């Protein structure tokens, strides 16, 4: 991604050759700041507090977390403890477990003295693979956008609505749902993005708006409840969102509120697409609605809002009466029947059990290895 015009990934190995750098996403959009992770505890904290977030980036960060843990202790027991600690940080995005499985597979049968290097190697590969996958998602999705744009009045921009942040910041680079938007924009397709603010953490208002702005993509931030109205009035040509876990039957688990957008899209004949890398598919989950664990986070995220005051201070204020009960479900599941198509690194796949299994047959059969086409 470009930050002030300079290409920057969301995670990297620092100049010392072993510690890991990340962008602190909790400080955006008010401050661009980076954090150095040096221990397993640093990584677990960064994921749990959402300094890093977004399913693919959580996975890559966890892989580096294993490498850092093994630097301190390369025993089998330490490996197991590290995985358990990291797995407990966020329960919904399956990329976390996928990346841990991949990293464990890369180190498990090696002598202790080789384990650290093997873990760093696999973490770097996971990061690079994420970039390649997202570029492929971008290429496939951009063709879709260009085809839809061709049916519009000359000069009228494609109107795309997105929810949460499934852009560069949610991945190592390029994004999932937003990769097609960036590619289409770079190819000269006129487009405009409606950005759901995405309470309670405001990933849309804070992160999606910031990164679209960094790339020069025209966009407008809207309150979460606006999408239905826009769709009723013909102001949305397509919805594209990311995913934290896609079940074998094509059900899509994504940020809370996604389901309501899918319902509105269905009612208004607006195509509803999901951009996802194959590590987000969980073939062990047969039915998304009943089997995906939905993370519930702290009440403070709903009961408070954080923002910058006129004199430049970042402050958190309470917006809910003291004593009111608060619930904070972080994700919901959109049934496959509401999804028009899954934009994957292997092209647009129908959100159906057979189509998903055919597109990623090696994932159904055994350990994953994603190969972009």
User: Catalytic residue positions?
Assistant: 244
* C-beta closer to ligand MRU: residue 90 or 363: 90
* C-beta closer to ligand MRU: residue 166 or 230: 166
* C-beta closer to ligand MRU: residue 90 or 115: 90
CB atoms within 10 A of CB 184: 24
Contacts of 356 (CB under 8 A, 6+ apart): 246, 248, 250, 281, 283, 342, 349, 350
Contact 97, 334 (CB under 8 A): no
Interface with ligand MRU by CB under 6 A: which range of 76-84, 135-143, 162-170, 211-219? 162-170
Query: From the list 51, 89, 103, 165, which residue makes contact with ligand MRU (rule: CB under 6 A)?
Result: 165
Contact letters (x/-) for ligand MRU, 23-62, by CB under 6 A? ------------------------------xxxx------
* C-beta closer to ligand MRU: residue 120 or 331: 331
* C-beta closer to ligand MRU: residue 203 or 214: 203
Q: For residue 246, state whether it binds ligand MRU (rule: CB under 6 A).
A: no
Q: For residue 208, state whether it binds ligand MRU (rule: CB under 6 A).
A: no
**Residues touching ligand MRU, count (CB under 6 A):** 17
Residues 294-353 that bind ligand MRU (CB under 6 A): 330
Beta strand segments in the chain, E:
2-3, 6-7, 11-13, 20-23, 34-37, 158-162, 191-196, 219-222, 238-241, 245-247, 252-255, 272-275, 281-282, 304-308, 314-318, 331-334, 341-344, 347-349
> CB of residue 102 vs ligand MRU: minimum separation in angstroms?
18
Q: For residue 181, state whether it binds ligand MRU (rule: CB under 6 A).
A: no
CB atoms within 10 A of CB 222: 17
d(CA 70, CA 264): 48
Omega within 30 of 0 (cis) for the link into 200: yes
Q: Please name which of 247, 197, 249 lies closest in space to residue 220, comparing C-alpha atoms.
A: 197
* C-beta closer to ligand MRU: residue 78 or 260: 260
Query: From the list 242, 335, 341, 351, which residue makes contact with ligand MRU (rule: CB under 6 A)?
Result: 242
Query: From the list 189, 191, 231, 243, which residue makes contact with ligand MRU (rule: CB under 6 A)?
Result: 243
Contact 55, 274 (CB under 8 A): no
Q: For residue 193, state whether it binds ligand MRU (rule: CB under 6 A).
A: no
Q: Are strands 281-282 and 304-308 parallel, antiparallel or unpaired?
A: unpaired
Residues 76-135 that bind ligand MRU (CB under 6 A): none
d(CA 373, CA 347): 8
* C-beta closer to ligand MRU: residue 115 or 201: 201
Query: From the list 85, 254, 334, 370, which residue makes contact with ligand MRU (rule: CB under 6 A)?
Result: 254
- The string over 270-306, giving b where at least 16 C-beta atoms fall within 10 Å of a residue's C-beta and e elsewhere, is bbbbbbbbbbbbbbebeebbebbeebebeeebbbbee
Residue with tokens 């330490």: 78
Interface with ligand MRU by CB under 6 A: which range of 134-142, 160-168, 321-329, 336-344? 160-168
Coil, helix or strand at residue 247: strand
> CB of residue 177 vs ligand MRU: minimum separation in angstroms?
6
> CB of residue 223 vs ligand MRU: minimum separation in angstroms?
18
CA geometry: angle 289, 204, 198, nearest 5 deg: 50
Q: For residue 261, state whether it binds ligand MRU (rule: CB under 6 A).
A: no
Q: Please give the residue ranges that form the binding site for ligand MRU (CB under 6 A).
A: 53-56, 164-166, 170, 176, 203, 241-244, 254-255, 330
């Amino acid at each position: 991604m470009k930050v002030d015009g300079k290409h920057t990934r969301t995670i990297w190995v620092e100049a010392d050759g072993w510690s890991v750098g990340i962008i602190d996403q909790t400080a955006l959009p008010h401050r661009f700041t980076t954090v150095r992770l040096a221990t397993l505890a640093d990584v677990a904290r960064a994921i749990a507090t959402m300094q890093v977030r977004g399913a693919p980036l959580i996975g890559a960060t966890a892989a580096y977390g294993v490498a850092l843990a093994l630097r301190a202790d390369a025993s089998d027991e330490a490996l197991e403890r590290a995985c358990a600690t990291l797995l407990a940080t966020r329960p919904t995005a399956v990329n976390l477990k996928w990346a841990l499985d991949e990293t464990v597979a890369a180190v498990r049968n090696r002598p202790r003295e080789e384990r650290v290097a093997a873990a760093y190697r696999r973490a770097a590969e996971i990061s690079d693979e994420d970039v390649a996958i997202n570029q492929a998602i971008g290429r496939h999705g951009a063709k879709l956008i260009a085809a839809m744009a061709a049916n519009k009045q000359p000069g009228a921009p494609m109107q795309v609505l997105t929810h949460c942040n499934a852009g560069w910041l949610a991945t190592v680079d390029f994004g999932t749902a937003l990769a097609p938007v960036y590619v289409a924009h770079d190819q000269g397709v006129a487009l405009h993005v409606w950005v759901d603010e995405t309470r309670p953490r405001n990933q849309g208002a804070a992160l999606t708006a910031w990164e679209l702005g960094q790339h020069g993509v025209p966009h407008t931030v809207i309150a979460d409840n606006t999408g239905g109205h826009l769709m009723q009035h013909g102001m949305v040509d397509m919805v594209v969102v990311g995913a934290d876990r896609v079940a074998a039957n094509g059900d899509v688990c994504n940020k809370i509120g996604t389901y309501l957008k899918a319902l509105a899209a269905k009612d208004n004949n607006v195509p509803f697409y999901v951009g996802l890398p194959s590590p987000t598919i969980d073939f062990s989950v047969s039915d998304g609605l009943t089997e995906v664990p939905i993370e519930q986070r702290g009440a403070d995220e709903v009961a408070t809002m954080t923002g910058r005051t006129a004199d430049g201070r970042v402050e958190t204020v309470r917006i809910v009466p003291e004593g009111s009960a608060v619930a904070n479900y972080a994700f919901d599941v959109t049934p496959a029947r509401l999804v028009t198509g899954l934009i994957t690194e292997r092209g647009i796949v129908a959100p159906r059990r057979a189509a998903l299994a055919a597109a990623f047959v090696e994932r159904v059969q055994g350990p994953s290895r994603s190969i972009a086409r």
